């Protein structure tokens, strides 16, 4: 059963369309809880606080990928609707390349300025050091994190129209 976004949704179709995302969010939440459990029990409460303290800043940086995904998805859908599949493919590639480049630039700037940001947010002492350490580790993977956000927006496009990815 193929689900088209343009057709009438019943509860069954809506659940079938959203269930993979719901399951992914549940597992992501469980991962965060388990990660917090092990950090707090085996590394210490200060480290656990540092992880939770710097994470919103890191997620804001990663949200740039969501921005490219949401805007790119709309532009690619419009282009595909106009029947210009080749241009849609080029746009998809452009969004991926630009996201990777911006991800590398933002990660480099984040690694340089993470101490200043954490201090400005109020971290000090051992917690500041832990924020910097954790932040730098996560920032090395920021381009991949941004692409994850971006591809989540493109995933529903691939299932419902001729694929830009092929």
Residue 45 pLDDT level (bands cut at 50, 70, 90): confident
pLDDT at res. 150: 85
Spatial neighbors of 69 by CB under 8 A, at least 6 apart, are 95, 149, 150, 151, 152, 153, 154
pLDDT at res. 4: 62
Sign of CA dihedral 92, 94, 100, 106: negative
Q: pLDDT tens across 69-113, in order?
A: 888 888 998 998 899 999 999 999 999 999 999 999 999 999 999
pLDDT, greater one: 24 or 54: 54
Residue 164 pLDDT level (bands cut at 50, 70, 90): very low
- Size (the chain), residues: 166
Give Dmax over CA atoms of the chain in angstroms: 58
């Amino acid at each position: 059963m193929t689900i088209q976004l343009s057709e009438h949704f019943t509860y069954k179709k809506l659940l079938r369309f959203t269930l993979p995302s719901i399951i992914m969010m549940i597992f992501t939440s469980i991962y965060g809880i388990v990660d917090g459990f092990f950090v707090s029990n085996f590394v210490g409460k200060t480290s656990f606080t540092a992880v939770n303290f710097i994470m919103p800043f890191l997620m804001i940086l990663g949200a740039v990928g969501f921005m490219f995904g949401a805007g790119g998805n709309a532009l690619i859908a419009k282009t595909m609707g106009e029947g210009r599949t080749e241009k849609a493919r080029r746009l998809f590639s452009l969004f991926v390349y630009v996201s990777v480049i911006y991800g590398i630039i933002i990660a480099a700037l984040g690694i340089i300025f993470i101490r200043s940001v954490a201090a400005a947010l109020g971290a000090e002492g051992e917690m500041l050091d832990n924020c910097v350490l954790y932040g730098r580790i996560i920032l090395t993977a920021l381009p991949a994190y941004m692409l994850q956000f971006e591809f989540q927006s493109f995933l529903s496009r691939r299932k419902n129209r001729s694929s830009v990815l092929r």
